[in-house]
Amino acid sequence: MPVVAKKVEMQHLAWRAGFGETLPVITEWEKRRRKEIVNKVLIGPKRAELESVDVINATDLPDYKRFRDMTEEQKKTVREMNTQGIKDLNVAWLNMMEKSEHPLREKMSLFWHGHFACRTQDVLYNQQLIGVIRENALGNFGDLLSAVSKSTAMLQFLNNQQNRKQHPNENFAREVMELFTMGRGHYSEMDIKEAARAFTGWGFDDNGTFVFREKQHDDGEKIILGKRGNYNGDDVLKILLDQRQTATYITTKIFRYFVDDTPDQALIESLSDKFYQSGYEIKALMREIFMSDWFYDSKYIGNRIKSPVELLIGIRRTIPMAFEQEELMIAFQRILGQVLFYPPNVAGWPGGRNWIDSSSLMFRLRIPQVILYSQVLNIRPKEIAPEMGDGGNYKMTLQINDFLKRQFAKKVNARINWDPYIQGYSDIPRESLADEIAGVLLQQPGNIKKALLEKYADTGSREGYIKTVTIDVMSTPEYQLC
């Protein structure tokens, strides 16, 4: 196995288990043992409480529970609060990813956010779902699965509110099996029908709290994956977790997200065995991956295409900035093809080469200049398709679309705080600056020739030099990779 330098190893870890780190952090990590750093990455800062990304309280919404009884004017207010709330939630989570001292938790949450893909127009439901995801992101997969399955957002999105003894609705049971646990081809249509019966009665009340409606539950006998009993929803989840296939399916997805697009069957088998044995402890699985020598094989280094959110957060973690209009980040996400809380479908974002086409790549290459030189945003993102909820509140998506339109041809105004970044290079002699900058921003730095960076650099001052070289390094295809 080709061995890479310790510094590259630590940068690899920083990107895969987070959103990249700056030169001073990497320099510090380089001095320590792998085990120590992996522990630090897994556990986060000591005694750090989980900071929520909540943007609204249920009580902030006027008469929220009785939407149907409201006047048009009141409904309008509620819709506007929801629209604004989902935008705020998007921005709040991005800020959390950027500033977090426990980036793996946010990275892992981003993974689960795609895995448990869900769209809802209700800010509180969204907030509740992202809350349980972040809370359990590195915990036990069984707990996570249960919490997500009982979240109002998911029960609503997958129509389990309509799943009743007399009229079973199979949507929820189908997606729980196909997308959340086993993957296609490992269960029969009959298993779905029977599981749907077990999930009857699972729903939520006006407060958005999970309720088991006993009268609507079918308590008869069911046969699910060869097991027979008077099962309820909890039993189904347990049966699904008992299947080794669930461990294999989840591990494969984690491997593709954290290691490589092309699954390595032998590695996945061994990882998923341990995952299963551990009773689905996510942190243990991640430790296994990050501690393995194969994880640092040069074939995996810098071969993964950053998702749009990773790319944006990576830039913002490197160079702190504050946007005059934070919501601009939603337009960026839209152009690049990943809007938080708006996954493309129940299967989530496909990722990998799917992120890249001519227009998204050219925009990616221009982002550092657009932000750091305050250029005009002259790309019009496509509209977000609204959903028809029971309340008919599709209007809020139209408002987001209006907002996206208004960003067109506007200058991107951000206060860029270059000082800490430039400070990070204070010990580096001028002649090695270009190589050092490329060395920390890129995982395969040798590909960008120093001569090219020199050609486009501002050589007037040390500061100007660092800035221009940084922007140019960030504007390369190599920077799209981690």
Partner 1 sequence: MYILNRRRFLQVGSLASAAMMMPKFLKAFESGALVPPGNKVLVIIQLSGGNDGLNTIIPYRNDIYYRSRPALGIKRETALSLSDELGIHPSLDGLKALYDEGSLAVLNNVGYPNPDRSHFRSMDIWHSASQSNEFWNDGWIGRYLDAQCNGCDKPTQALEIDDTLSLALKGDHNKGLALTDPGRLSNTSNDKYFKDLLQQHAHEDEHHSVEYLYKTMAETISSAAYIQQQFKTYQSKENYPATELGRNLRTIANLVMSDINTKVYYVSHGSFDTHVNQQDQQARLFKQLSEALTVFTGDLKKNNRFQDVAVMTFSEFGRRVSQNASGGTDHGTANNMFLISGGLKKQGILNDGPDLMNLKEGDLQYKVDFKSVYATLLNKWLSADDQLILKQHYEKMDFI
* CB-CB neighbours of 415 under 10 Å: 9
Binding of residue 320 to partner 1 (CB under 8 A): no
Binding of residue 449 to partner 1 (CB under 8 A): yes
- Cα 86 to chain centroid, rounded: 15
Query: Which of residues 354, 399, 416, 418 is near partner 1 by CB under 8 A?
Result: 354
Looking at the DSSP bridge assignments, the partners of residue 251 are: none
Residues of the chain by 3-state class (helix, strand, coil), percent to 5: 60, 5, 35
Question: Can you read off the two tokens belonging to residue 71?
Answer: 């006047």
Q: Where are the alpha helices (DSSP H) in 1-71?
A: 6-16, 23-30, 34-43
Q: Which is nearer to partner 1, 238 or 380 (CB)?
A: 380
Query: Which of residues 346, 416, 422, 428 is near partner 1 by CB under 8 A?
Result: 346
Which stretch, 122-130, 263-271, 297-305, 310-318, contacts partner 1 (CB under 8 A)? Answer: 297-305
Q: Which is nearer to partner 1, 31 or 382 (CB)?
A: 382
Looking at the DSSP bridge assignments, the partners of residue 203 are: 211
Query: Which of residues 357, 427, 454, 463 is near partner 1 by CB under 8 A?
Result: 357
Q: Which is nearer to partner 1, 194 or 472 (CB)?
A: 472
Provide the phi-psi class of 212: left if phi over 0, else alpha when psi is between -120 and 50, else beta: beta
As a whole number of angstroms, the distance between CA 390 and CA 156 comes to 10
Rounded to the nearest 10 degrees, the angle between the axes of helix 103-115 and helix 34-43 is: 60
Interaction pattern, residues 115-154, with partner 1; x per rule: CB under 8 A: ----x-----------------------------------
Binding of residue 358 to partner 1 (CB under 8 A): yes
Interface with partner 1 (CB under 8 A), residue total: 50
Query: Which of residues 83, 120, 181, 476 is near partner 1 by CB under 8 A?
Result: 476
As a whole number of angstroms, the distance between CA 210 and CA 161 comes to 10
Q: Where are the alpha helices (DSSP H) in 243-357?
A: 244-258, 265-277, 282-291, 308-318, 328-336
Q: Which helix (H) or strand (E) holds 228?
A: strand 227-229
Which stretch, 19-27, 32-40, 79-87, 348-356, contacts partner 1 (CB under 8 A)? Answer: 348-356
Q: Which is nearer to partner 1, 135 or 261 (CB)?
A: 261
Binding of residue 264 to partner 1 (CB under 8 A): no
Strands 410-411 and 376-377: antiparallel
| Shortest spacing between CB 303 and partner 1, in angstroms | 5
Binding of residue 267 to partner 1 (CB under 8 A): no
* Cα-based distances in Å from 109 to 130, 155, 275, 282: 8, 19, 18, 12
Query: Which of residues 77, 169, 399, 475 is near partner 1 by CB under 8 A?
Result: 475
| Shortest spacing between CB 46 and partner 1, in angstroms | 37
Binding of residue 472 to partner 1 (CB under 8 A): yes
> Which residues have CB under 8 Å from 249's CB, separation 6+?
181, 182, 183, 186
Q: Which is nearer to partner 1, 294 or 456 (CB)?
A: 456
| Shortest spacing between CB 169 and partner 1, in angstroms | 13
Instruction: Note the residues at the interface with partner 1 (CB under 8 A).
Output: 119, 302-305, 335, 337, 344-347, 350, 353-354, 356-362, 365-366, 378-383, 385-388, 392, 394, 398, 444, 447-449, 452, 455-456, 472, 475-478, 480-481
